[in-house]
Amino acid sequence: MNIALIGNQNCGKTTLFNRLTGSRQKVGNFPGVTVDVASGPLRGKKGFTIVDLPGVYSLSPYSNEEKVTRDYLFKSRPDCVINILDATNLNRNLYLTMQVLETQTPTIVALNMMDDVKANGMVIDIEKLSEYLGVVVVPISAAKNQGIEELIEHCVKVCLAKEKNTFKDRCEGPIHTAIHSISHLVETNAAKAGLPAKFSAIRIIENDAEIIEELRLAPNQVEIINHFVEDLEKALSTDRESAVVDMRYGNIEVICADVIKKYGDNKSQRRTDKIDKILTHKVFALPIFIGIMGLIFYITFGIVGKYATDGMSILMDMAGEGLKSLLVSLQVSDWLVGLVVDGIFAGISSVLSFLPTIIVLFLLLSIVEDTGYMARVAFIMDKLLRKIGLSGRSIVPMLIGFGCSVPAYMSTRTISSERDRKLTLLMVPFMSCNAKVPVYAIITMTFFQKYQALVMLFMYVLGIVVGILYALILQKTKFKGSSAPFVMELPPYRLPSGKTVIMYMWDKAKGFIVKAFTVILIASVAVWFLTNVSFTFSMVEDTGDSILAMISKWISPIFAPLGFGDWRLTTSLIAGLSAKEAVVSTLAILFNVTQAELPAALGGLMSPLQALSFLIFVSLYMPCLAAFATLRKEVKSTGYAVLAMALQTFIAYIVALVIYTFGLLVTL
């Protein structure tokens, strides 16, 4: 039994999905978090699967999310639909409900955020709403886990009974005549296509090309339908699509007027409006956003993260010494001790030392996100992005890109315009992903200790600025044209949910740990082997004679103009293609030092200016191979993906060269 979960964006759909399945689906407070169709078993009910569909406002296939949702409804034919509504915005949410009910799929309405309804002094007549809609209506609060068990029981009953809803819209006049007439005309066609006749008639009036094609109408039927539609438009003095929209909103007005018994004082909305006057101010909004991010970096790298990372480094060093002593006492051969301690453990520990920093950073970011502020960032950035030919919708993949480029690339599927989508795909990797945090941390800790938070903020801002300039050039050349329209909802501000914040933070930390014991481990073994073996496959005493050293020395002159021509730095950049954290682990292996000793080793190798140039290149050059594979999949072209990565690396080279050269001129 398949149960489809459908609802508007920001109505609590993914939170409900997590409650129903126990899944750890990402919960976000801005549109675009649910990109693909996610599924999970219904909690405690064997044989029942919940399918979480993208958040949409209607079933008219204008955007990719709407197309995915509609295709699933019509082609996969779920046994039941749970339509989740934001009870505090019943008027708006019911529009999608009207369309779902038109399909005659067995449906349950989950009326979410009932705790907010009560807090605002509103009263909704649940029984009367159920009568109007012809389906079971279950009041819930997904965030507080209220009403979930009752909803699960109703899901099972509706699925097994396979009862179609008894919704009857209250249309009258010309629109009723048109729907009734077309329904009779296409009844046989609809039955063959497996579609309800009335639903088919409404979609024909809305000029839904896909449904019309499925119905396989005869030429004489099309001619008669056109006459019905012309009569409708003439009688109502409006176009065919607007006539259907007006019919639905007419139903909604009647329902809301009767079921909402008391319109309370919406305290949450009044509080939100007051906060928005400051946080979305046309002048101060952007400086406030930069200030918030700066504060997050200061707390992460200047107060909490630094001491936590230092403590973790000490523990890792002690563990490394203990491991080495154990292996020596067991009389393990020298080469194996070197592989385990100087290769595997040194590589993994150099990355894991920054785990506390990652935890603190994503704890703070998840708190900010869960308040609803990230949706405001999309709103704030919309005006700026339009100047480079994009809309605020593109900010969502960019924000996700600060976590990881792979899901950021995938989230561009929510962008309906192919032009906007490809332009966004090219901008995403300029956003500094969390894999670069260990590199930023070790370099800033070594060379810019007093200004660590400021330099960190500069690296993030630099990526954004370079990405914007790149997009400006592309807009004037390859991607000429204007951006697609962008409509989004600003959810009310809420206190962060402790469970959601901890869950999000743990997911990020878990991903970091998993990568350390998979990709970083493999990269560490490969680097150790290649730095300890010559081309004749004999062990070397001097790492400068190893395979990796020889290869890197051929490439190193390319980076000499940027100030970091040392072969070990070049090697770390190559290793960084597997995962950016590997830059740090590789340097630890090449210098044969612990993470705590690495700053001293780097301090003797580079000046602050050279370190800044190295940091800029790491920040901007092509992302990891997993990101490359995802980009290739999204654009369906290996050549396009290779060119995109090559251009990005070239831009990284030019930016680092310009800043390094400028720095040399200033210091002369």
| Same domain, yes or no: 442 and 535 | yes
The residue-averaged pLDDT of 493-504 equals: 80
For residue range 448-470, list pLDDT tens digits in order: 988 888 898 899 889 988 988 88
639-645: average pLDDT: 92
Taking the C-alpha atoms of residue 123 and residue 229, their distance in angstroms, rounded to an integer, is 40
Q: Is residue 342 part of a domain?
A: yes
* Residue 264 or 282, more confident: 282
One domain, residues 135 and 224: no
103 and 237 belong to one structural domain: no
Q: Per mean pLDDT, which of 424-428, 508-512, 588-592 is the most reliable?
A: 424-428
User: Is the pLDDT confidence value at 625 over 70?
Assistant: yes
φ, ψ dihedrals at 18, nearest 5°: -65, -40
Mean residue pLDDT across the chain: 84
pLDDT at 306 over 70: no
Domain check: are 635 and 548 in the same one? yes
Summarised one tens digit per residue, pLDDT across range 199-255 is 899 989 988 888 888 899 999 999 999 999 999 999 989 899 899 999 999 999 999
- % of the chain at pLDDT higher than 70: 94
Banded model confidence at residue 657, pLDDT cuts 50, 70, 90:
very high
Q: Say if CB 429 and CB 623 are below 8 A apart.
A: yes
- Domain end: 95, 129, 161, which one? 161
Position 116 scores a pLDDT of 84
Domain annotation covers residue 168? no
320/456 same-domain check? yes
Query: Residue 333: is its pLDDT beyond 70?
Result: yes
Higher-scoring residue by pLDDT: 382, 181: 181
Helix (H) or strand (E) holding 49: strand 49-52
Residue 118 has pLDDT above 60, yes or no: yes
Q: What mean pLDDT do residues 281-306 have?
A: 82
> Are the beta carbons of 360 and 300 closer than 8 angstroms?
yes
Chain segment 77-86, per-residue pLDDT in tens: 899 999 999 9
Q: Is residue 370 part of a domain?
A: yes
Encoded tokens for 353: 């030392």
Could you tell me the CATH number of the domain that includes residue 16?
A: 3.40.50.300
Separation of alpha carbons 136 and 110, rounded Å: 9
pLDDT-derived band of residue 483, with 50, 70 and 90 as boundaries?
low
Q: What is the CATH number of the domain that holds 198?
A: 1.10.287.1770
pTM (two decimals): 0.71
Left (φ > 0), alpha (ψ -120 to 50) or beta: where does 10 sit?
Answer: left
169-178, 301-310, 340-349, 495-504 — which is least confidently predicted? 301-310
Q: What gap in Å lies between CA 330 and CA 324, rounded to an integer?
A: 10
Whether residue 653 sits in one domain with residue 550: yes
Q: How does pLDDT run across 383-394, given as a tens digit for each residue?
A: 777 777 777 777
Q: Find where tokens 């405001």 sit.
A: 376
Residue 25 lies in a domain: yes
Is 126 in the same domain as 257? no
Q: Is residue 230 part of a domain?
A: yes
Which tokens belong to 357?
A: 């920093």
Residue 537: both structure tokens together? 């496959």
The total of structural domains in the chain comes to 3
Judge contact between 539 and 546, C-beta under 8 A: no
Residue 223: Cβ-neighbour burial (10 angstroms; 0-12, 13-18, 19+)? exposed
Among 133, 161, 189, identify where a domain stops. Answer: 161
Amino acid 622: pLDDT: 92
44 pLDDT more than 90: no
* Strand partners of residue 50: 3, 40
138 contacts 110 by C-beta, under 8 angstroms: yes
End-to-end Cα separation, the chain, in angstroms: 74
Model confidence at 518, in pLDDT bands (50, 70, 90)?
confident
For residue 487, the model assigns a pLDDT of 67
Average pLDDT over residues 553-559: 90
Q: Is residue 278 part of a domain?
A: no
Who contacts 469 (Cβ-Cβ below 8 Å, separation ≥6)? Answer: none
Measured distance CA(327)–CA(423) in Å, rounded: 53
Domain of 239, in residue numbers: 174-262
Can you read off the two tokens belonging to residue 190?
């609809």
Least confident of 127-131, 515-519, 530-534: 515-519
- C-alpha to C-alpha distance for 263 and 607, rounded to whole angstroms: 66
Strands 260-262 and 123-124: antiparallel
Per-residue pLDDT reduced to its tens digit, 3-27? 999 998 878 888 899 889 876 665 5
- The predicted pLDDT at position 263 comes to 64
Could you say which of 161, 192, 212 is where a domain stops?
A: 161
Which range is least confidently modeled, 3-7, 548-552, 554-558? 548-552
Regarding predicted confidence, which is higher, 462 or 541?
462
Q: How much is the pLDDT for 309?
A: 73
Can you give the pLDDT at residue 619? 93
Q: Is residue 321 located within the same domain as residue 358?
A: yes
**Would 642 be classed as within a structural domain?**
yes
Q: Which among 339, 317, 327, 334 is positioned nearest to 528, based on CA atoms?
A: 339
Work out whether strand 136-139 and strand 107-112 pair parallel, antiparallel, or are unpaired. Answer: parallel
Task: Tell whether 142 and 179 lie within a shared domain.
Answer: no
Q: Tell me the per-residue pLDDT of 585-623, one tens digit each, with 9 for 90 and over.
A: 888 888 877 767 888 888 888 899 999 999 999 999 998
Helices (H), 391-537: 395-401, 405-411, 418-427, 437-447, 452-476, 498-516, 519-532
Partner residues linked to 49 by β-bridges:
2, 41
**Do 453 and 556 share a domain, yes or no?**
yes
Looking at the structure, tell me whether residues 65 and 187 fall in a common domain.
Answer: no
- The pLDDT assigned to 266 comes to 64
- Whether residues 517 and 438 share a domain: the answer is yes
Q: Does 491 reside within a domain? A: no
The b/e string for 465-488 (b: 16+ C-beta within 10 A; e otherwise) is ebbbebbeebbeeebeeebbebeb
